[in-house]
Amino acid sequence: MIGKSLLSAMAGSVAIQAMSLLSVYGLELTHGPMIGHTTSTTSRVWVRADGPCQLQVRAVPKAEGKAILTQKLSLIKPDNFCGSVCLRGLWPSTTYRYQILLNGKEQPSSAVQEFTTFPVEKRSGIVRVGFGHSLIGPGRQTTWRSIAEKKPDLFILMGDNIYSNTTEAAKQRRMYLQFRADPHFRAFAATTPIYAIWDDHDYGANNSDRTQRGKDRSLKTFNEIWANPPSQADQGKGIWTRFTVGKAEFFLLDVRYYRSPNADPDGAGKTILGLEQRAWLLDQLAQCPATFKFLVSGSSWNCGGAESWNHPFAHEYDSILAHIARKRIGGIILLGGDQHFHKIGVRPAESWGGYDLHEWMAGQLWNTEEIQKRTGTLRGFGLITIDTRVSPATSRLEFFDEHGKPRLGRRIPYTTIGALRALWDSPPGATGETPRSSDGELRPATSGPLWEALPATTGETLTEENLEWPVSKP
């Protein structure tokens, strides 16, 4: 009779052999490739495999040139077999074709696998940036097909990229990979650099903040699934970072990990960014030579509501603007998320002594028909065209619907909490209905005739002169 120890040894040997065979023959690409952080000379490529293996990417210029091979990266179970490698030594403004290698074996793909490096940093040119927030509900996300047809040079996902509403890694991973498996996103991301930040629903629970239990699990999952530039957190943790394309700089902010509870009294101790991130942002803005500086936040800056900068976090918002005023920093444009609509919110120059601060918001990128009927939220995205060849340089915003057709957004009046209260208490409009709101946001489902009275627009154009510091009077 064979002893238990011998049976155990035999079983272990068989398992090792099976894993060895799988690592050589049985591995496949399950998700990706996705192009991540790109510069004029580098590009990150993200994938997920169905088991442990060695990842490499090989790229060659589409026209002609020498092939470039990345270093090997081990895809391991603790990272859910996800990972990204960096192609280095690339040429600026050059299109490359690439292949994914798992244990040295080229992986087939139905998507076109090519990308174009960014132009040389600080050099004039035209850059097209897609952006939007919030993806919720099943179905093939055809919005990505329309975005691809606009041929942006990169795309920024501005939070609520999944609606896990938990820090449970298994659920977050499942929902992220369902999103990554969408054929329209997969085709788009295989050719276009993707950047991402989080907001509450892909960080934790609704309206979650620094007190969220399990937030480090969310941080790990976020880093598994995205190929952003390295986090700029030094002493602490978080996802904030920055990147440059041409003469534009993008500051990707973390508005959750250190966020004070929304209901805390406003004042010097209340924060969205936390001390380290705020100090980093102020320092980097003061040094930044870019013509246009985009501050990317998962929370709205100027459009009001229980999660916005200009209502429950007005003290920190004002302190950031006070620093910008002291340093006379020009060229700032705000990008906001969270509120599921196409909006332009302008903080007037006289409210802080500088220039008009424009916030651009676009979304939801995807939702269900039931959500559209219940809330009035339509699908869509934004496109920014930055042209620094002309004088003055321009940034042009365009709103589009899920089919790629121009879509109307609304201009939201900049308000303090008291001023917004006055709006709600204003006389009923022609419909006889009184405006109402559950959270202070201006939107179709809660604002009644007041929403319909807001100016509608398909976008706007700002020049660098619009964002210059006013000349001091003698």
Q: Which residues contact 25 (CB under 8 A, 6 or more apart)?
A: none
Indicate the pairing of strand 114-116 with strand 73-75. unpaired
* Last residue in a domain, options 117, 145, 176: 117
Within a domain: residue 138? yes
User: What pLDDT is recorded for position 221?
Assistant: 98
Sign, CA torsion 333/405/111/364: positive
Within a domain: residue 328? yes
Distance between CA atoms of residues 409 and 241, nearest Å: 29
User: What pLDDT is recorded for position 435?
Assistant: 63
User: pLDDT tens, 187-210?
Assistant: 999 999 999 999 999 999 999 999
* Last residue in a domain, options 67, 101, 117: 117
Instruction: State phi, psi for 121 to the nearest 5 degrees.
Output: -60, 140
Q: Is the peptide bond before 33 cis (omega within 30 degrees of 0)?
A: yes
Sign, CA torsion 367/372/376/379: positive
Instruction: State phi, psi for 128 to the nearest 5 degrees.
Output: -115, 125
Q: Are 121 and 104 in contact (CB under 8 A)?
A: no
Q: What is the pTM for the complete model shown?
A: 0.93
Report which DSSP code applies to 110. S
Q: How many domains does the chain have?
A: 2
Q: Which residues contact 231 (CB under 8 A, 6 or more apart)?
A: 223, 237, 238, 239, 240, 241
Instruction: Note whether 336 and 419 are same-domain residues.
Output: yes
Instruction: Note whether 193 and 106 are same-domain residues.
Output: no
Distance between CA atoms of residues 160 and 362, nearest Å: 13
First to last CA, the chain: 103
Least confident of 9-18, 59-68, 265-274, 410-419: 9-18
User: pLDDT tens, 309-318?
Assistant: 999 999 999 9
Judged by DSSP in three states, 452 sits in helix
Q: Are 177 and 221 in contact (CB under 8 A)?
A: no
Is residue 241 scored above 80 in pLDDT?
yes
Helix (H) or strand (E) holding 181: none
Mean model confidence pLDDT for the chain: 91
Distance between CA atoms of residues 432 and 427, nearest Å: 9
Within a domain: residue 277? yes
User: What pLDDT is recorded for position 139?
Assistant: 87
Instruction: Quickly list DSSP for 262-294.
Output: TTSPPSTT--SS-HHHHHHHHHHHHH---SEEE
Least confident of 7-16, 220-229, 399-408: 7-16
Within a domain: residue 317? yes
User: pLDDT tens, 111-137?
Assistant: 999 999 999 999 999 999 999 999 998
User: pLDDT tens, 263-273?
Assistant: 999 999 999 99
**Residue 227: closest CA among 79, 395, 432, 51:** 79
Within a domain: residue 8? no
Least confident of 144-158, 192-206, 447-461: 447-461
**Residue 156: closest CA among 196, 203, 115:** 196
Instruction: Note whether 35 and 152 are same-domain residues.
Output: no
Calculate what percentage of the chain has a pLDDT beyond 90.
Answer: 80
Within a domain: residue 379? yes
Within a domain: residue 10? no
Q: Could you tell me the CATH number of the domain that includes residue 80?
A: 2.60.40.380
Distance between CA atoms of residues 346 and 290, nearest Å: 21
Distance between CA atoms of residues 93 and 349, nearest Å: 37
Helix (H) or strand (E) holding 31: strand 29-38
Residue 49 is encoded by which pair of tokens?
A: 């495999």
Domain holding 46, by residue range, is 28-117
Instruction: Note whether 344 and 292 are same-domain residues.
Output: yes
CB-facing half-sphere around the CA of 184: CA atoms within 13 A:
15
User: In Å, how far are 194, 203, 207, 222, 273 from 211, measured between CA atoms?
Assistant: 29, 12, 11, 18, 14
Instruction: Note whether 145 and 69 are same-domain residues.
Output: no
Distance between CA atoms of residues 435 and 450, nearest Å: 6
Instruction: Note whether 88 and 198 are same-domain residues.
Output: no
Distance between CA atoms of residues 376 and 400, nearest Å: 16
Residue 367 is encoded by which pair of tokens?
A: 């939702």
Q: Could you tell me the CATH number of the domain that includes residue 445?
A: 3.60.21.70
Instruction: Note whether 88 and 125 are same-domain residues.
Output: no
Instruction: Note whether 104 and 167 are same-domain residues.
Output: no
Sign, CA torsion 367/368/372/378: positive
